[in-house]
Structure 1
Amino acid sequence: MLEDMRLFATIVEQTSLNKAAERLNLSQPALSRRLARLEAELEVDLFRRIGKRLELTAAGQVTYEFALELRRFHASYLKKLNAYKSSEAHIATIGASLTTLQTTLPGLITAMTEKHPNLEIKAITGKSHEIAELVKDRKVDFGIVASSAIADLAITSLPLFDDHLMLVLPRTHIILERTHLEMTDLNGLPMILFAPGTWYRTLTDEILKKYNLKPDVRMEIDSFEAIIRLLSACRAGTLLPKSYLREQILIDNDLFVVRIKELEETKRTTSLIHGDPAWLAPSTRYLIEETAAYFERGSSRRKES
């Protein structure tokens, strides 16, 4: 009954069998058979079929209200049951974008595994909306995305830190002979940029378009590390998120960061997202709290410096 009510509620909420089948990872014919079997067992019609559109009958409305109550009851039960489970996680699966994977996760994973030697962390990459779906479908424990909020009532967003772009150049670059650089200096500047398709590259393109700038783009690469290593050899600059630019990276690659006011205004909030707290195991809630504390400490250190 619980599974039948879950399928029925999904059909109602998705407003079509096709959308519901896709969400439930079932074929449309299989979902139709499950619905027909449920109606046969209940001996009522749950929907009126108007062309391809489904409209709830009065019996269907009562059944949907029951399905919602059953969902809430089941979530409450799981929440109480989780209280008896261990708060020590052995495996954590985190969803993150490719840029987040390179900028944010290395330090977090190092800190987590140092504190919890038995913890195994897995990461799944994707765009922000894809990570949100993984969170909703409970395929990841939580996600870290470059967004201040996800427009979905089933997802909770917890802001972690603000990020912005910074101009990075080899210390020997001739342009650094000037005492002051402005946005217009990016026009025609040889640059290596991250490959298209991420929030970071989108932000880069937006700022270049806003100021009508056309740098000389020599390469587009989907690895921050590769970009960093190639800057001196190509005598090129790049725009990188502040969160990636650790002091040791700059020292090891003989690079210099140029502060430009307009770039510092390209703020982007990175947030942790998770699903219904009732579905979170105590170990997951603990890791979420640990993650928030880790970034809060990092933010405090940056303000002090």
Structure 2
Amino acid sequence: MLDDMRVFATVVEHSSLNRAAERLNVTQPALSRRIARLERELGVDLFRRVGKRLELTPAGQFTYDFALELRRFHGDYLQRLNAFKTAEAPVATIGASLTTLQTTLPELITAMTEKHPNLEIKAVTGKTHEIATFVKERKVDFGLVASSVEDDPSITSTPLFDDTVVLVLPRSHFIVERTQLSMSDLNGLPMILFAPGTWYRNLTDELFRQYGVKPDVRMEIDSFEAIVRLLGASRAGTMLPKSYLRPQMLSDNDLYVVRIRELEEFKRTTSLIYGDLAWLAPSTRYLIEETIALFGRGNRQS
């Protein structure tokens, strides 16, 4: 039953048999047969098809809630079981790219430590390709990157949520009088950008190239917090992930988000990456499942 509920929850969280099959490393027909067998055993339909998507029936939603509870109890059991294996607190080592370190990791750590007070979380930071290497070399249990890693068969890359990029300006800036801009309005605009060589800076540079924009780059800094604090004094703008912004942060620094039509059409994906599940401890596999569930069921809005 535990394994059936784990498989069922994975299908729900991916809304697709194909994507769930890739995640579980099984074929799509085999996964379809397994879900059909579970429905026969339970005597109810768990899904209905809407186009190419799977949606839960009322019975399916009830079963998914049970699967989450079962997952939670199982995880708690594994965490407590670690106390009998070692006198040390259980440890999870997470690799985070520079972007996710500042946007996604704090939320994850807060959620995990609230649920598992004895869990010790360590973080290793680096660029996306470095985090991928750490995952392969098992120097980290899993990684969080602001992209996906699709070109390495030894790494599984699971999308967590989509994000957008927004323009942030001090409220004293003359541009904020306009409610919406286009990318061409950024030509010559004084800006503070993220440090060169990072995935996030490569992304913003690509956006500038795509639309033929040449901003006036005043500073290059590898900290979103430092950028935010310097915008007012520098009378400059910046490009930030929407997931990083909080109303209180904008208010405290007297900042304003300006809508740009082209940026609203752009999406970037934050992903969880991990290696061969056979090498991971059961408690680590559970943390991976918890992380996917935390971000994968609409808890993060882009």
- Scaled by the length of structure 1, the TM-score of the pair is 0.68
- Matched with 2:271 is 271
Percent identity, aligned pairs only, is 75
- Matched with 2:292 is 292
Distance 2:111 2:159 in 1: 19
Unpaired runs of 5+ residues, structure 1, are: 1-82
CA contact under 8 A between 2:82 and 2:90: conserved in structure 1? Answer: no
Distance 1:103 1:165 in 2: 12
Q: Which amino acid aligns with 1:125?
A: T
- Matched with 1:45 is none
Cα deviation for residue 197 of structure 1 reads 1.1
- Matched with 2:228 is 228
- Matched with 2:301 is 302
Matching of residue 198 in structure 1 with residue 198 in structure 2: yes
**Partner SS state of residue 212, structure 2:** coil
CA contact under 8 A between 2:221 and 2:227: conserved in structure 1? Answer: yes
What root-mean-square deviation, in Å, do the aligned CA atoms of Structure 1 and Structure 2 show? 2.1
Closer/same/farther in 2, CA of residues 260 and 99 from structure 1, 3 Å limit: same
Distance 1:293 1:250 in 2: 29
- Matched with 1:40 is none
Q: Which amino acid aligns with 1:113?
A: T
- Matched with 1:131 is 131
- Matched with 1:110 is 110
Alpha-carbon displacement from aligned partner over 1:246-266 (angstroms, at most 9, x marks no partner): 222112211111121211233
- Matched with 2:149 is 149
Matching of residue 258 in structure 1 with residue 249 in structure 2: no
CA contact under 8 A between 1:87 and 1:282: conserved in structure 2? Answer: no
CA contact under 8 A between 1:148 and 1:157: conserved in structure 2? Answer: yes
Distance 1:293 1:87 in 2: 23
Deviates more, 1:113-122 or 1:264-273: 264-273
Residue-pair matches, total: 220
CA contact under 8 A between 2:161 and 2:300: conserved in structure 1? Answer: no
Distance 1:233 1:293 in 2: 40
CA contact under 8 A between 1:166 and 1:242: conserved in structure 2? Answer: yes
Distance 1:207 1:243 in 2: 18
Alpha-carbon displacement from aligned partner over 1:259-297 (angstroms, at most 9, x marks no partner): 212112332211111111111111101111111122135
Closer/same/farther in 2, CA of residues 180 and 273 from structure 1, 3 Å limit: closer
Cα deviation for residue 302 of structure 1 reads 2.5
**Partner SS state of residue 236, structure 1:** coil
Q: Which amino acid aligns with 1:302?
A: Q
When Rg is computed on C-alpha atoms for both structures, the one with the higher figure is: 1
Unpaired runs of 5+ residues, structure 2, are: 1-77, 84-88
Matching of residue 86 in structure 1 with residue 85 in structure 2: no
Deviates more, 1:143-152 or 1:160-169: 143-152
- Matched with 2:72 is none
